[in-house]
Structure 1
Amino acid sequence: MAGIKDVAAAAGVSVATVSRVLNAHPSVSADARARVLAAVESLGYRPNAVARSLRTDQTRTFGLVIPDVLNPYFTELARSVEEAARALGYSVIIGNADERAEVQDHHVRTLLDRRIDGLLVAPTDAGSPLLADAVRGGTPLVFVDRWIPGVDVPVVRSDGRAAVRDLVGHLWSLGHRRIAIIAGPDSTTTGSERVDAFREAMAGYGLPVPDAYIGQGDFRAESGRRATGGFLALPEPPEVVFAADNLMALGALDAVRARGLRVPDDIGLVAFDDIRWFVHTDPPITSIAQPTGALGRAAVRALVEVIEGRRPASVTLPARLIVRRSCGAPPGTDNVADFGG
């Protein structure tokens, strides 16, 4: 592999001149610049990214830590982050926290050791002090989707409260009154916020939310199966189950089918976080869609601003209800989520 000395020899200039050309320094003649660039192309020279990062104190690399790479929502979010970062000349290193705080902290430490320029994180919970320490240490940080209250950094997130109100109104119009929720962990902002939004929306229609109609989940499919099994065993089961996450909704669907029941004939089903699979399930699942692509792009823009020394405002984008047939809605109301954001 050709080195910088080979380029200098081929171009008939000094190593320092090659370095100035590669770093777009203005004090190089047009002739010398042309000869260096021609030599770079003919030799197939690739600058040493590690050496350059030591000189410039920049790696042109972001870290992204997401709670669960198997969750289609976070997979889509990571894709949008990577595309937006690449368009700005950055690479992205992704860490999968597996919904565990200690794994999240492992990835954060590793990324900081790699001298990343900035960090995007959807925290697994609000208990880890490492992220607050990283901010105090000067690491550019932006929270995306989830956040840690009290850590003073920009947050890029979606607000689902209006969509949840729309959902409860839709279920009311279909005649449903007994509605249960499978909640995410209350240690996460999204877990607690979605339950609060559900309670508020139900209260707006004068509908009770008995304790038996609140199932505790962990944003994994198995917890959706378990919570739905508990609902179905009640003397008066709910008419609709609202899963506060897409994987828990799929688990709920499994639990319903395992008992020989059908959606929506025997029980309705709704999910927070729309995913591509929901248009292919039988029946297609009504859901609340977050603008995943827009969230990823906004998070990258915010992080670049922090890196450049500015203080961007937090960004909140609205989620929206997508009505399909999983709650007894008549045919013809299907929609397809806008996965491009």
Structure 2
Amino acid sequence: MARIKDVAAAAGVSVATVSRVLNDSPSVNDETRRRVYDAMSALNYVPNAVARSLRTTATRTIGLIIGDILNPFFTELARGVEDEARREGYTVVMGNADERPDEQDHYVRTLLEQRVDGLLICPTAELTPLVQQLAEAGRPLVFLDRSIAGLDVPTVRSDGASAIAELVRHLREQGHRRIALASGPATLSTGRERTEAFAAAMAAEGLELRPEYVRPGDFREGSGRRITAELLDLPEPPDAVFFGDNLMTLGGLEEIRARGLRIPRDVAIASFDDVTWFKHIDPPVTAIAQPAAEMGRHAVRLLLSRVNGRPAASAVLPATLVIRRSCEGKGS
């Protein structure tokens, strides 16, 4: 097994520099940090935190690292994790990656140092050497909501393809033809899957998918507002916009209201990810609901199977379309 001094030699840096990289020190520049990561990957180096965690006794705690604590989807997901873990006699320690690979790695190391029995991770877009090594070391690990190609890690996610097909059909039936997508990042499995499902649904309904109507965001409120402004400023703006998640929908709502436009008369909207407040605004927002709490509960069951040395298979749970008034035809 490679040692830290082997990584230092391969990267052409000191052992102290490798240690600073492993501890997320801001004193290391990006170029040096990348050389160290590349050396770790080439040597299959397992950081001490991972190695030590493989020799610990059970603590009856599990770690959960979510993508963005401000996103209601992750809040519901975390609640499902906590409920199931408590039922099984486990405590959950949570970290918020804020969609940043460095923050994700910080929490991975911290949770391993706390000797958690297993980890649930909603992985960020970038596969880091630490997460790769954690998976390859055989540590009890389950991915939530998002998958990473090439890693043999059980994943619990939802399949929204059927619900997206229903949504596009509903929009067509309501008379909408110019339908746009404010998608998530292509670097995330969820962003790719929703974009691909939308394109397939448009083709199935015989609707034109205009390139200028498909714009990537980052699953954050700001990108939702920016994309909405770009779409509404087009010479021929869309008459309906489908947002890739609830925070982007919120940004879109802000931009539409700021322009004094009316939903759905001026532009219809729909969202992937349903949240409680969607049904309370005027008009209520049509949304695709993921079974977030059940995803969290199921992920805990899979993780505990791995903790106890039993096999665990990935699971895909269906999402459902909730039709409300934000997509009604212009004459409604």
Tell me the TM-score normalized by structure 1: 0.79
Distance 1:129 1:185 in 2: 21
2:69 is matched with which residue? 69
Deviation, structure 1 residue 131: 1.4
Matches within 5 A, 1:1-341: 57-328=57-328
The answer for the alignment partner of 1:50 in structure 2 is none
- What secondary structure sits across from 1:84 in the alignment? helix
Compute the displacement of 1:206 (Å). 1.6
Contact 2:199 2:209 in 1 (8 A): yes
> For the Cα contact (< 8 Å) 2:56–2:115, is it kept in 1?
no
Alpha-carbon RMSD: 1.7
Any stretches of 5+ residues in structure 2 without a counterpart?
A: 1-52
1:293 Cα deviation after fit: 1.5
2:26 is matched with: none
| C-alpha contact (below 8 Å) 1:126/1:149 kept by paired residues | no
> Equivalents in 2 of 1:129, 1:208: separation in Å?
41
* Cα distance between partner residues in 2 of 1:128 and 1:203: 36
CA–CA distance in structure 2, aligned partners of residues 102 and 56 of structure 1 = 25
Distance 1:129 1:275 in 2: 34
* Offset from partner CA, 1:46-95 (integer Å, 9 cap, x none): xxxxxxx9x98011000000000000000110011011101100000111
Secondary structure of the 1:111 match is helix
Give the distance between the partners of 1:312 and 1:83, measured in 2 at CA.
20
Secondary structure of the 2:78 match is: helix
Aligned-pair distance for 1:137? 2.2
Show CA shifts across 1:2-32 (max 9, x none). Answer: xxxxxxxxxxxxxxxxxxxxxxxxxxxxxxx
Q: Indicate the percent of aligned positions where both proteins have the same amino acid.
A: 56
Tell me: CA distance 1:57–1:323, structure 2 relative to 1, closer, same or farther (3 Å): same
Q: Distance in 2 between matches of 1:131 and 1:56?
A: 19
Q: 4+ residue stretches of structure 1 with deviation over 4 A? A: none
Q: Would you say the 8 A contact 1:156–1:315 is kept in 2?
A: yes
CA distance in 2, matches of 1:275, 1:299: 21
Deviations 1:163-186 (A, max 9, x none): 000001111110111100011111
1:136 deviates by 2.1
Q: Which structure 1 segments of 5+ residues have no match?
A: 1-52, 331-341
Name the SS for the 2:69 alignment partner: coil
Computing the radius of gyration from Cα coordinates, the structure with the larger value is: 1
Gap change, CA 1:220 and 1:56, over 3 Å in 2: closer
In the aligned structure 2, how far is the partner of 1:153 from the partner of 1:221? 30
C-alpha distance in 2 between matches for 1:209 and 1:127: 31
Q: What is the CA–CA distance in structure 1 between the aligned matches of 2:126 and 2:188, rounded to whole Å? A: 6
Between the aligned partners of 1:315 and 1:272, the Cα distance in structure 2 is 20
Q: Distance in 1 between matches of 2:322 and 2:138?
A: 41
1:210 Cα offset (Å): 1.5
Question: Which one has more relative contact order, counting CA pairs under 8 Å at least 6 apart?
Answer: 2
Instruction: Report deviation, 1:280.
Output: 1.0
Do 1:289 and 1:322's aligned partners in 2 also have CA atoms closer than 8 Å?
yes
Q: How far is the alpha carbon of 1:127 from its aligned partner?
A: 2.5
Displacement, 1:126? 4.0
